[in-house]
Amino acid sequence: MREPLTSITRIARRASGTRAAARTLPEETPVALSYAGTTHAVMMASPADLEDFAVGFSLTEGVIASPGEIETIEIEQAGEGIDIQIRLVDRANTRFQSRRRRLAGPVGCGLCGIESIEEAMRSVASVAGAKISFSAADIVQAVRLLSKAQPMHAETGAVHAAGFYVPGKGIVAAREDVGRHNALDKLAGALARAGIDGMQGAVVITSRVSVEMVQKAAAIGSAAIFAVSAPTALAVRTADQAGMMLVALVRGDEFDVFAHPERLKGGDAQNVA
């Protein structure tokens, strides 16, 4: 099985001259997620934290309701790729097979396992009941701390990260991947396997905020998502529907709150332009 990072020799042209030099790059590997021997989705992913990926993908895509519904996970080399064989307990497998029968055929990357507009626009889990709020300092610190929890990005400059920030504790878990959805799925799996309640903090991501990222953050149970880049309009509407605070374009001490600013503590809400 390949390591997640590879050293490649390239020709580097700089002001001081041109020379051959090594550069560390992230691997990108086709990873199949299979249930009961049948492939459900194939993602281009970093070959790391694959058990977290299996659990997180299964949770955020609604295949399982809890990690306890997974009986076994086996990771196998499959040619140039990796096959994650996931065996579900009987009740979860019955539910999953019923869902598969409603699908017309195989799918690729993106909204995995989805063949209809209705499935793509599924109702997002509500996090409105979460009794948590964040200060401006929390938001700034969360993004700053995540930037220090990205060893693969530090070496390559080519991977996304997703972290979980708990006020007073900082980033308690972080995962990286060449795919932004994969990084968030791996984070979801890490949190579930560690027994960390998603309502305790905020999801922090290095990418733009698409509707899938909001859906996955809501599946984790997080009432807030902080991002370095901008959201889509649908992501904002979905976060608003879910009761989720959506903060984006976090740059230094500056940020924009797009949904549920009431989760911004006290007078800090008055400082958001």
Domain CATH number, residue 81: 3.10.20.10
Q: Which of 251, 238, 268 is nearest to 259 (CA)?
A: 238
Residue 206 — very low, low, confident or very high, per pLDDT cuts 50/70/90? very high
Of 74, 90, 120, the residue that ends a domain is 120
Q: How many domains does the chain have?
A: 2
Interval 76-102 mean pLDDT: 88
Residues 159 and 44 in one domain: no
Of 93, 120, 147, the residue that ends a domain is 120
Residue 97 — very low, low, confident or very high, per pLDDT cuts 50/70/90? confident
Of 120, 152, 186, the residue that ends a domain is 120
Residue 116 has pLDDT above 60, yes or no: no
Residues 39 and 158 in one domain: no
3-state secondary structure of 20: strand
Interval 180-208 mean pLDDT: 97
Residues 112 and 145 in one domain: no
Please give the DSSP secondary-structure letter assigned to residue 246.
E
3-state secondary structure of 130: coil
Q: Identify whether 15 is part of a domain.
A: no
In the predicted model, what is the mean pLDDT of the chain? 90
Determine whether 167 is exposed, middle or buried from the number of CB atoms within 10 Å of its CB (0-12, 13-18, 19+): middle
Residue 90 has pLDDT above 80, yes or no: yes
**198-207 burial, b if ≥16 CB within 10 A, otherwise e?**
bebbbbbbbb
Residues 260 and 144 in one domain: yes
Q: Identify whether 11 is part of a domain.
A: no
Residues 163 and 244 in one domain: yes
112 is catalytic: no
Residues 53 and 110 in one domain: yes
Q: Which two tokens stand for residue 124?
A: 């997002």
**43-65 burial, b if ≥16 CB within 10 A, otherwise e?**
bebbbbbbbbbbbbbbbbbbbbe
Q: Identify whether 173 is part of a domain.
A: yes
What percentage of the chain carries pLDDT values higher than 70? 89
Is residue 174 within 8 A of residue 153, CB to CB? The reply is: no
Residue 109 — very low, low, confident or very high, per pLDDT cuts 50/70/90? very low
Interval 213-233 mean pLDDT: 97
Residues 164 and 258 in one domain: yes
Q: Which domain holds residue 85?
A: 29-120
Q: Which of 104, 126, 125 is nearest to 115 (CA)?
A: 104
Q: Give the bridge partners for 173, in sequence order.
A: 164
- pLDDT of 113 reads 47
Q: Cα 44 to the chain's mean position, in Å?
A: 14
Residues 169 and 223 in one domain: yes
Q: Identify whether 148 is part of a domain.
A: yes
The strand ranges marked E within the chain are: 5-14, 17-26, 29-35, 38-45, 70-78, 81-88, 160-166, 170-177, 202-205, 224-227, 245-251, 254-259
From the list 25, 109, 140, 269, the catalytic residue is: 109
